[in-house]
Amino acid sequence: MPFGLKNAPQIYQRMLDNALYGFTRIPRLEGDPARKQPDPEASPDLIPSEPKDDGKKSVLGRRSYIDGILITAESWDHLGKRVEGLLEVCDEWNLSISVVKSFWGKNRVEYLGHKVSSHGLEANPKDLSALTELPFRGSLRAMQSFLGSLNYYSKFIEDYAIYAAVLYELREVDFAAMSKPETRSRIQNLAAAVGDDREETGRSAEADLRWIWAQKSFSKLKEKVASTPILRHFRPELQPVVVVYANDWAISAALMQEHDDVFHPVMFARCTLKSNELNYGIVEKEVLALLRVLDLGHNLQVGREIKVLARYSTLAWLFRSSGLQGRLGQWAALLSPWTLEIVKCTKGENEILGAIAATITPRAEVDETLIAIAPRKEPRRKIQAPIPTVYPGESLWVVSFDGSARVKRGGGAYSAILWKLPEWTVVKARSEYVDGLTVNEAEYRGLLLCMDLLEGEDQQRLVICGDSNLVIRQVRGEIDCKAPGLTILRQKALDRLLAWPDHELLHVKRDWNGSADSLAGAALQRQAGVEVEEDSDFEDLVTLNRLEEILVAKEAEEHPSAKINPVATRTTGDSRSRPTVLQEEVVRDLRIGRIKQAQDEEVWIAGLKKYLLGAVHDLPPEDVKSYHTPNGRRRNMMG
């Protein structure tokens, strides 16, 4: 086989599978090098072929990973027969074995990063010392690399998902904030000062706590990978026992079997809960853990009676009840083929199991251990970004952006407005039009246009407002950005925001973003951008502005640096600015004016007006004919 083919590993794997499982090539006709042709009267999808030896079983009873072949046997004679069968297959298939790279007759061998013996399966990382001495990762890519390398051995780590959940929640914006020397030194000093002091930790900032939890989880995972247990081989004659556990953000389960009056783990199953699953009760989460371990170990447990150790007796009620609805009915249907013995544990695992391996953490101690590393996972309905706080007399910048696109015309428009607080005056406003834009791309370009308007302005606090939930949350790092075009625009926005360290992103409804929306809509209608310079246009933007209804200045005494007067009269107490309520007449006049302007700019609408007024001498004959018929007017409207 020539080198460089992408499907070469798959072809080689299939050839070894055929050899180890006793399959042979399609028989050939004597004297004809070509393969035997199918019978014309038979089905065209069937090729007549018969195995060389009928009933020949698999040589090893297992598959191999490409050229890594593992031979196991119960005795020395059994091992000799399997090796002899393997050599015969290799000779038949013209396969050669490297004696230098092979090991024969050993009690324990290294295979694909593991140590396999009669006692069980052990983890065998190539460089364990480098992994355990690894410092805390300082970038998202480095943290993903660490979690990826650790995920290969996650089956040896009990409650892996519980400890790794806080690390999986870290985003690029979090590492960008952590890259600042002052932030990094503050968190390191805080982590060294508080240690395991929960009271001191509770007084720390939430952002700093997240990094302390992440560092503790990082250290805990390194300790666990250095002391991984031995997973025993599953023995069909022994009864499987499942221990389920669930907490607020993850689930885990352990499949065990009894060896010499001690229960040893066979397999660990774990999973981080989704946003909707966070609202489930603890009993429902235990059902999820049970379904998880039954799914991963289906081939080991199918057809056998399984003892399930749970902390609540409600799991047994699930099998006795009738008329279940919703997800309980679905779970009962999924568990119906299994023979389960649900045992409620009231005094810990030792009450049921008698003796348990030291590698299993008692569930009563897990809850206390995980308090220090609880991630910030919350149900989706509770996730809400706080509104930025604005104090009376505070000077800051507010930028609002919006984007719009039409598939029919193949273009998009976007706008940006720079506001100066506390006066709420428009400093700059601009809109642009570009062909071939989608709505999300137009929104991102509107955000970049905001950064263009800020060039040359004084550095101070910045609040960015937009009605695109996707753009705001992607820039915050709350959701992933997978589209290639949006990924480039998002990275540009993050690079531009580095120049404004004190900034906040706020998602607002479209009704409150009327100024930027009207500016982008006008640019889309004209198919051209505009630089707002007229005072009347500035007044229109101020009139349509409703952001001041959200960014309301708080009381003076709430400002950390505000001066408190010894006496406050009723007049001074009511002197703070309040949001202006838009008058319905003003908004109606603005809308009518914009509609008239848009109609005058549309060629077919302007021509239709002339036709209705009788001024047809300025119109071409074909336009007059099209305006005369209803179908022609409809075609003009469809454009």
DSSP 311-325: S-THHHHHHH--S--
Residue 622 or residue 336, greater confidence: 336
Kindly state the average pLDDT of the residues 102-109: 86
Rounded CA-CA distance 163/250 in Å is: 9
Nearest-5° Cα angle at 79, 77 to 82: 115
Q: What is the pLDDT of residue 252?
A: 86
* Beta strands, E only, 112-259: 114-117, 121-123, 241-246, 250-259
Would you state the pLDDT for residue 584? 61
**Spatial distance between the Cα atoms of 275 and 421, rounded to a whole number of angstroms:** 38
Average pLDDT over residues 569-597: 55
Please check the confidence at residue 47 and state whether its pLDDT lies above 90: no
355 three-class SS: coil
Least confident of 156-170, 522-536, 578-592, 605-619: 578-592
Task: Specify burial of residue 91 (Cβ count, 10 A radius: 0-12, 13-18, 19+).
Answer: exposed
Least confident of 204-208, 333-337, 576-580: 576-580
Q: Give the Cβ contact number of residue 631 at 10 Å.
A: 8
Locate 127 and state its tokens: 């460089």
Higher pLDDT, 213 or 416: 416
Least confident of 224-233, 249-258, 319-328: 319-328
In angstroms, the Cα distances linking 285 to 276, 388, 415 are: 12, 36, 47
Report how far apart the first and last C-alpha atoms of the chain are (Å, whole number).
59
Res 445 pLDDT > 90: yes
Q: For residue range 548-582, what is the model confidence (pLDDT) as tens digits? A: 888 887 764 444 444 333 333 333 333 334 444 44
Q: How far apart are CA 319 and CA 269, in angstroms?
A: 23
Does a cis peptide bond (omega within 30 degrees of 0) precede residue 33?
A: no
Average pLDDT (463-470) is 92
Mean predicted confidence (pLDDT) in 539-550: 86
Distances (CA, A) of 316 to 206, 288, 339: 40, 14, 12
Mean pLDDT of 418-437: 91
Does residue 632 have a pLDDT over 70? no
Q: What residues contact 43, with CB distance under 8 A and at least 6 apart?
A: none
Q: What are 356's strand-pairing partners?
A: 263
Q: What pLDDT does residue 166 have?
A: 83
Q: How much of the chain, in percent, has pLDDT values that exceed 90?
A: 17
* pLDDT of 607 higher than 50: yes
Mean pLDDT across the stretch 493-498?
A: 92
pLDDT at 53: 52
CB 268 within 8 A of CB 160: yes
* Alpha-carbon gap, residue 217 to 495, rounded angstroms: 30
Sign of CA dihedral 311, 316, 318, 321: negative
- Per domain, the residue ranges of the chain are 1-105, 128-226, 241-373, 396-581, 587-638
> Does residue 222 register a pLDDT over 50?
yes
Strand partners, 399: 418, 464
SS3 category, 493: helix
Indicate whether 136 pLDDT > 70.
yes
Q: What is the pLDDT of residue 548?
A: 84
- Please tell me the CATH superfamily of domain 396-581, with its number: Ribonuclease H-like superfamily/Ribonuclease H (3.30.420.10)
With residues binned 3-state (H G I as helix, E B as strand, rest as coil), the percentages for the chain, rounded to 5, are 45, 15, 40
Point out the least confidently predicted range of 292-301, 324-333, 340-349, 447-456: 340-349
Residue 481 has pLDDT above 80, yes or no: yes
Helix axis angle, 603-613 to 621-628, nearest 10°? 80
Q: Does 241-373 match 396-581 in CATH topology?
A: yes
Q: What is the pLDDT of residue 434?
A: 92
Q: Topology of 241-373 in CATH? A: Nucleotidyltransferase; domain 5 (3.30.420)
Give yes or no for a contact between 449 and 415, defined as CB atoms under 8 angstroms apart: yes
Instruction: For residues 592-620, give the mean pLDDT.
Output: 74
Check residue 465 and give its pLDDT: 94
- Please tell me which residue, 176 or 90, carries the higher pLDDT value: 90
Q: What is the pLDDT of residue 571?
A: 36
With cut-offs at 50, 70 and 90, classify the pLDDT of residue 352. very low
Average pLDDT rounded to a whole number, residues 254-264: 87
Residues counted in the chain: 639
Task: Give the pLDDT score at 383.
Answer: 46
User: Per-residue pLDDT averaged across 312-322, rounded?
Assistant: 68
291-306 pLDDT, tens digit each:
999 999 998 898 899 9
User: If you write DSSP's letter for every residue of 112-150 in order, what string do you get?
Assistant: TTEEEESS-EEE--TTHHHHHTPPPP-SHHHHHHHHHHH
- Torsion, Cα 526 530 536 540, to 10 degrees, reads 70
Of 192, 190, 207, 211, the closest CA to residue 137 belongs to: 211
The residue among 639 and 339 whose pLDDT is bigger is: 339
Cα–Cα distance for residue pair 342/313, rounded to 1 Å: 8
Listed residue (402, 406, 401) closest to 524, CA to CA? 406
The chain-wide mean pLDDT, for the chain, equals 77
Higher pLDDT, 86 or 205: 86
Candidates 490, 552, 545, 550; CA nearest to 517 is: 545
Lowest average pLDDT, out of 187-201, 350-364, 478-492, goes to 350-364
Q: Which of 256, 284, 282, 288 is nearest to 270 (CA)?
A: 288
pLDDT at 50 over 70: no
Select the more confidently predicted residue: 586 or 174. Answer: 174
**d(C-alpha 549, C-alpha 540), whole Å:** 17
Structure tokens at 109: 């061998």
* Number of C-beta neighbours around residue 629 at 10 A: 10
Residue type, 544: L
- Strand partners of residue 264: 257
Which of 73-77, 341-345, 351-355, 431-435 has maximum average pLDDT? 431-435
Question: At residue 353, does pLDDT exceed 50?
Answer: no
